[in-house]
């Protein structure tokens, strides 16, 4: 039987579309790296994203957005298909401020996935993953259909059930 | 209250503003729905909701500190956000409540909602270090 292979979800390809629009587009998120069950994205340094007028350091809010997005993509990467998820719970433990005028990278792995839930953990760092800016842990649930299924970059890579 | 709700560049850039209203003496912040906060189509991105919650938490803490005659530097220790319902394509609001104000740290609880104050879309607990 010749069943055509379903294209696997690819974070690098999906990023090209995801980061053109909306909140993540506004933040200017960029794809940097991926593995079987993890995705790394970058939040570029930007003057208008600082959290404290006395220091040129990225605010913690955009770092949560970075980690939330990297979490979702790590889940799709692990599942191998794009299936909309909703964040149930996300915890961020700040280890230290990011360095002045530094971009921050978020690397998140999906360490457990079931039909309806996914669990992630990750780090945000500026220079080295061995010296994180923050640790994160989160729990996500799958939700219903998403109009992004029309997106050509994701076509065929959708989850069904 | 004006000083306490002086928002950082990130918050202003995202479109977060103080409504001028308060709850229990704590300022209510709001952000309109638009491209800068949109995640999946026609819904708030979880990160944008977290940004609103976090800023409302800091605004509440600064308000309490001004009342107490204190002006420390604030450093985030952690934040845990619970997402309760999808943020739809309309304005969101948030207000913080000081659960405990200590000498070195504070514990702040924040709620965000849209049309119905009694149906929060997200809550957060923040631990903040004061130095």
The count of other CB atoms within 10 Å of the CB of residue A72 is: 29
Nearest by CB to B78, from A25, A93, A97: name it: A93
Q: State the ipTM, two decimals.
A: 0.93
With respect to residue B49, please indicate whether it lies within any of the assigned structural domains.
yes
Q: Residue B90 carries which DSSP code? A: S
The region that residue A156 occupies, defined by phi over 0 for left and psi between -120 and 50 for alpha, beta otherwise, is left
3-state helix, strand, coil in chain B (%, to 5): 25, 45, 35
With respect to residue B103, please indicate whether it lies within any of the assigned structural domains.
yes
Instruction: Domain of residue B115: give its range.
Output: 9-130
Nearest by CB to B10, from A59, A90, A91: name it: A59
From CA B94, how far away is CA B29, in angstroms rounded?
Answer: 5
**E strands within B1-131?**
16-23, 26-31, 74-83, 92-101, 105-113, 122-130
Q: Average model confidence (pLDDT) for chain A? A: 87
Q: How many domains does chain B have?
A: 1
Asked whether the predicted pLDDT for residue A37 surpasses 50, the reply is yes
CATH value at residue B125: 3.10.129.10
Is A64 within 8 Å of B51 when comparing Cβ atoms? yes
From CA B38, how far away is CA A97, in angstroms rounded?
Answer: 27
Residue-wise pLDDT tens digits, A84-128: 899 999 999 999 989 999 999 999 999 999 989 999 999 999 999
Which of A23-32, A48-57, B38-47, B84-93 shows the lowest mean pLDDT across its residues?
Answer: A48-57
Asked whether the predicted pLDDT for residue A56 surpasses 90, the reply is no
From CA A134, how far away is CA B78, in angstroms rounded?
Answer: 9
pLDDT number for residue A55? 77
With respect to residue B83, please indicate whether it lies within any of the assigned structural domains.
yes
Residue-wise pLDDT tens digits, B22-69: 999 999 999 999 999 999 899 999 999 999 999 999 999 999 999 999
Q: Confidence class of residue A5 from pLDDT cuts 50, 70 and 90?
A: low
Is A23 within 8 Å of B38 when comparing Cβ atoms? yes
The A-side interface with B (CB below 8 A) comprises 21-27, 47-53, 58-62, 64-69, 84, 86-94, 97, 146-148
Residue-wise pLDDT tens digits, A140-157: 998 866 555 556 566 544
From CA B80, how far away is CA B84, in angstroms rounded?
Answer: 13
With respect to residue B4, please indicate whether it lies within any of the assigned structural domains.
no
Domains of chain A: 11-150 (3.10.129.10)
Is A69 within 8 Å of B54 when comparing Cβ atoms? no
Distance of residue B130 Cα from the nearest chain A Cα, in angstroms: 14
Q: Confidence class of residue A158 from pLDDT cuts 50, 70 and 90?
A: very low
From CA A152, how far away is CA A111, in angstroms rounded?
Answer: 28
First to last CA, chain A: 23
Residue-wise pLDDT tens digits, B78-129: 999 999 999 999 999 999 999 999 999 999 999 999 999 999 999 999 999 9
pLDDT number for residue A145? 60
Q: Are B60 and B5 in contact (CB under 8 A)?
A: no
* CA–CA distances in Å: residue A123 to residues A25, A32, A40, B44, B80: 21, 14, 10, 23, 15
Task: Average the pLDDT over A62-80 and give the result.
Answer: 95
With respect to residue B3, please indicate whether it lies within any of the assigned structural domains.
no
With respect to residue B73, please indicate whether it lies within any of the assigned structural domains.
yes
Chain A residues whose beta carbon lies within 8 Å of the beta carbon of residue B45: 22-24, 65, 68-69
């Amino acid at each position: 039987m010749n069943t055509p292979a379903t294209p696997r979800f690819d974070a690098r390809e999906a990023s090209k579309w995801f980061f053109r629009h909306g909140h993540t587009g506004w933040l200017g998120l960029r794809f940097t790296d991926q593995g079987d069950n993890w995705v790394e994205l970058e939040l570029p340094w930007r003057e208008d994203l600082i959290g404290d007028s006395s220091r040129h350091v990225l605010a913690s809010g955009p770092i949560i957005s970075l980690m939330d997005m990297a979490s979702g993509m790590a889940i799709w990467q692990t599942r191998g298909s794009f299936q909309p998820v909703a964040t149930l719970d996300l915890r961020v433990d700040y280890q230290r401020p990011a360095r002045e005028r530094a971009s921050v990278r978020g690397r998140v792995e999906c360490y457990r996935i079931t039909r309806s839930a996914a669990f992630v953990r990750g780090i945000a760092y500026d220079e080295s993953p061995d010296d994180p800016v923050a640790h994160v842990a989160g729990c996500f649930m799958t939700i219903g259909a998403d109009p992004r299924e029309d997106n050509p970059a994701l076509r065929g890579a959708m989850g069904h059930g | 209250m004006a000083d306490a709700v002086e928002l950082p560049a990130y918050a202003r850039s995202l479109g977060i503003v103080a409504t001028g209203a308060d709850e229990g003496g704590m300022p209510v912040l709001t952000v309109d729905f638009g491209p800068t906060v949109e995640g999946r189509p026609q819904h708030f991105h979880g990160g944008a909701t977290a940004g609103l919650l976090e800023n409302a938490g800091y605004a509440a803490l600064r308000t309490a500190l001004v009342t107490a005659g204190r002006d420390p530097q604030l450093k985030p220790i952690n934040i845990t956000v619970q997402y309760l319902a999808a943020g739809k394509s309309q304005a969101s609001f948030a207000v913080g409540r000081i659960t405990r104000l200590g000498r070195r740290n504070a514990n702040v609880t924040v709620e965000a909602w849209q049309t119905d104050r009694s149906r929060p879309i997200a809550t957060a607990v923040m631990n903040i270090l004061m130095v």
